[in-house]
Amino acid sequence: MRLTPRAATEAHAGGTGSAGAAAWSGELERALARAREKLLSMQSPEGHWCGELEADSMLEADYIFLHTLLDSGDPGRLQRALAEIWRVQRPDGSWSIYPGGPGNLSLSVKCYSAAKLLGVPAEDPRLARCREWVLAHGGVVAANTFTKIYLCALGEYAYDAAPAIPPEITLFPRWFYFNLSEISAWSRSILVPLAVIYAKKPFKKIPKERGIDELFVGGREHAILRLRRDRTRLLSWRNFFIVLDRLTHWFEAVHLRPLRALALRRAERWILERLEMTDGLGAIYPAMLNAILALRCLGYSEDDPRVRRARLEFEKLGIEKPAGPDGEATFRMQPCVSPVWDTAQAVFALGEAGVPPDDPRMARAAEWLLSKEVRHKGDWADKVRGVEPGGWYFEYANEFYPDTDDTAQVLLALRKAGDPVAGRQKEAIRRALAWEFGMQCTAGGWGSFDKDNTKMIFQYIPFADHNAMLDPPTADITGRMLETLAAFGFDRSDRRVERAVAFLLKEQEADGSWFGRWGVNYIYGTFLALRGLRAVGFDPADPRLRRAADWLAGAQNPDGGWGETCGSYDDPSLRGRGLSTPSQTAWALLGLLAAGQAGRLEARKGLAWLLERQLPDGGWDESIGSGFARESVITGTGFPKVFYLAYTMYRVTFPLLALAGYRDAAS
């Protein structure tokens, strides 16, 4: 018997009698069993999980740029990367940073340039549409810093017109107001090698017909000259940094750089140190690409083992998609890989769904997770002194950059799995909890990679237009942290827990929701905040929990599911609004359950939505479009307003967790 959403809702409400309720309960159990088996079937022989990460076409465009600049790469693969770019072009000629979103200027410039670099003529209708769109939105000069620096290397932009990224920033001492430890970990790993590139100013002359002169409004020289002159005279922090930027360019022009050689040596050492014990610098795409270019700029040959290894780790992010009935073969790049995160989420969901701790598959996963524990000090230690290394990172190897969110989720997972090596798990948990407390910010919450990374002034630096210079404490991580601490016996009698609670309550929006930094968006932040507060003892009748539950209920779509567009980061009035997705429906349902609202009509409808849309193999579909142009809906956040990603495991782990949570609440 397969229940429709209406039948499932009525059955749980008692409208169809005991037989209907029994059928509903049986359907839930069967759905749980299918989802468990689906997730277990995805486990690797080594014991971990790792789903594909999907992002926008910037990755393929930059891949083409890198290989063009270095005269490398497989020509066939480069053409397949271009096919992937064409696959997701919008009808108006632009490219968007998330499916269904508006065109993005910087991304569209990069995609246009990539096509030209591979020989597509400007007369191609696809490029003609893009060119018209880009010119209507300001042309190349309106693109972001990363785009401009890459174009400079191809002779398509002027280095002195791009924001300066001087390597001297690596020399600033820790006591200085601006130093590397005061910017986010990902910005550090991206900007230090980019500063080397800026200082060395690589240049490759490309044929004129493969350039992008036609993307400058009024022509390249006129557009850049106007940019240099168009400086507002109003007093503001942004203009203060613009003045510093201009001074830096003046020093560059007259070669007044007394510390340049020392700075480059410091940057080189910084990069080489962080290439150890990791799968590429920072184990994230932009940093890895920049590191390859920086090493080559510093004189390292292609045969140098460090360059070869950096190249290998970079190429490992690639995924070949063979041709099928819906379209041609393509090649795409992942922004990074997520095995620790995916494994921790999977183990926790399976444990909640009833897989026992002594199941050999759970034990194998726990052993794999323990093998990834961080045992060396990384960048975080600049601000956190006297704390033993502990915790976990996101990828297969990234020893310098453990993060609080992964660590909290791994701790939750280890609670669901047996200890494969006597005592080892206990010690790892002890170290991780101490590390987490050491990372707690002054405000009471937790950021991701650093403590008190909150100097908002740095967002006005001209090269900070990737909107991610800082790593402040956030509600979503803090909510997960409270849930984790409660699982290990901490409650509000502990002042550290109480400080976190105060932070979370302060961050609640007037409508009852919470902002989601690492997932899209308010649905994600709200469900994690509710789970954290409930875990440390908040009563479901607390008006703050009720207000959050009411907001979730009010955000439900007519079909019974929940969804939220990435556009809510740009326009908060869109919070909680978007196409229903399995992961976001699961988050909302989990939030309602945490608020004690299992019997609420909206919760029953959400459950019915998940039951009705489960696939025969036990998973859920989370994509839009059809055929060759089909894309995953984005529910993960990299940099708000700038970069998003789809975690393909979310469409299985979170619905499974929600079904298990509903079963437990109903029973």
Please report the pLDDT score of residue 179 as a whole number.
Answer: 81
- Give the C-alpha separation, 661 to 610, whole Å: 13
Residue 616 scores a pLDDT above 50: yes
DSSP annotation of 177: S
- Give the C-alpha separation, 159 to 190, whole Å: 18
Please report the pLDDT score of residue 23 as a whole number.
Answer: 62
501: phi then psi, degrees, rounded to nearest 5: -60, -45
Number of Cβ atoms within 10 Å of the Cβ of 493? 9
Closest CA relative to residue 214, chosen from 116, 307, 283: 116
Q: Which two tokens stand for residue 273?
A: 């140190």
Please report the pLDDT score of residue 227 as a whole number.
Answer: 64
Q: Which two tokens stand for residue 176?
A: 């200085």
In the chain, count H helices and then E strands.
Answer: 24, 7
- The H or E element spanning position 304 is none
pLDDT in tens, 267-280: 999 999 999 999 99
- Give the C-alpha separation, 107 to 59, whole Å: 10
- Give the C-alpha separation, 401 to 281, whole Å: 10
Q: Give the model's confidence band at 230: pLDDT under 50 very low, under 70 low, under 90 confident, else very high.
A: low
Please report the pLDDT score of residue 172 as a whole number.
Answer: 84
* CB burial readout 391-413, b (16+ within 10 A) else e: bbbbbbebbbbbbbbbbbbbbbb
* Integer CA distances (angstroms), 426 to 187, 429, 535, in order: 34, 5, 22
Closest CA relative to residue 249, chosen from 175, 309, 161, 327: 161
**8 Å CB contact between 13 and 605:** no
Please list the residues that pair with 331 across neighbouring strands: 320
Q: Output the DSSP codes for 48-63.
A: -----EE--THHHHHH
pLDDT in tens, 316-368: 999 999 987 777 899 999 999 999 999 999 999 999 999 999 999 999 999 99
* Integer CA distances (angstroms), 647 to 568, 652, 653, in order: 19, 10, 10
Residue 307 scores a pLDDT above 50: yes
Please report the pLDDT score of residue 461 as a whole number.
Answer: 73
- Give the C-alpha separation, 444 to 452, whole Å: 10
- Give the C-alpha separation, 237 to 241, whole Å: 6
Please report the pLDDT score of residue 15 as a whole number.
Answer: 43
SS3 content of the chain, % helix, strand, coil (to 5): 55, 5, 40
DSSP annotation of 628: G
Q: Mean pLDDT, to the nearest integer, of 545-549?
A: 98
Q: Output the DSSP codes for 130-145.
A: HHHHHHHTT-GGGS-H
Angle formed at CA 615 by CA 609 and CA 619, multiple of 5 degrees: 90
- Give the C-alpha separation, 362 to 381, whole Å: 32
- Give the C-alpha separation, 520 to 667, whole Å: 31
Domains of the chain, first to last: 54-333 (1.50.10.20)
pLDDT in tens, 242-269: 554 455 544 455 555 678 899 999 999 9
Please report the pLDDT score of residue 248 as a whole number.
Answer: 55
Q: Which residue has the higher pLDDT, 368 or 181?
A: 368
Handedness of CA 615, 621, 625, 629 (dihedral sign): negative
Residue 472 scores a pLDDT above 70: yes
Q: Which two tokens stand for residue 411?
A: 């701790």
Q: Give the model's confidence band at 221: pLDDT under 50 very low, under 70 low, under 90 confident, else very high.
A: confident
Which of 152-156, 394-398, 468-472, 533-537 shows the lowest mean pLDDT across its residues?
468-472
pLDDT in tens, 422-455: 578 999 999 999 999 999 999 999 999 999 999 8
- Give the C-alpha separation, 89 to 103, whole Å: 9
Closest CA relative to residue 27, chosen from 667, 608, 658, 619: 608
**8 Å CB contact between 341 and 393:** no
Q: Output the DSSP codes for 251-289.
A: HHHTT--TTHHHHHHHHHHHHHHHTTTBSSGGGSHHHHH
Residue 181 scores a pLDDT above 90: no
Is-catalytic flag, 71? no
511, with CB counted inside 10 A (0-12, 13-18, 19+), is middle
Residue 231 scores a pLDDT above 70: no
Closest CA relative to residue 533, chosen from 583, 471, 475: 475
* CB burial readout 193-215, b (16+ within 10 A) else e: bbbbbbbbebeeebeeebbbebb
Report the half-sphere exposure of 570 (CA within 13 A, side-chain side). 12
**8 Å CB contact between 110 and 97:** no
Q: Which of 56, 403, 405, 476 is catalytic?
A: 405
- Give the C-alpha separation, 457 to 177, whole Å: 11
DSSP annotation of 421: S
Please report the pLDDT score of residue 275 as a whole number.
Answer: 96
pLDDT in tens, 125-150: 999 999 999 999 999 999 998 999 99
Q: Mean pLDDT, to the nearest integer, of 574-600?
A: 97
Please report the pLDDT score of residue 418 as a whole number.
Answer: 74
pLDDT in tens, 374-384: 999 999 999 99
Backbone conformation region of residue 194, classed left if phi is above 0, alpha if psi is from -120 to 50, else beta: alpha
**8 Å CB contact between 521 and 571:** no
Q: What percentage of the chain reaches a pLDDT higher than 90?
A: 79
Backbone conformation region of residue 460, classed left if phi is above 0, alpha if psi is from -120 to 50, else beta: alpha
- Give the C-alpha separation, 254 to 167, whole Å: 17
β-pairing, 53-54 with 643-647?
antiparallel
Residue 567: strand, helix, or coil: helix
- Give the C-alpha separation, 594 to 592, whole Å: 5
Q: Give the model's confidence band at 13: pLDDT under 50 very low, under 70 low, under 90 confident, else very high.
A: very low
Task: Look up the pTM and report it.
Answer: 0.92
Mean confidence (pLDDT) of the chain: 90
Give every CB contact of residue 454 below 8 A, 6+ residues apart in sequence: 441, 443, 447, 470, 472, 473
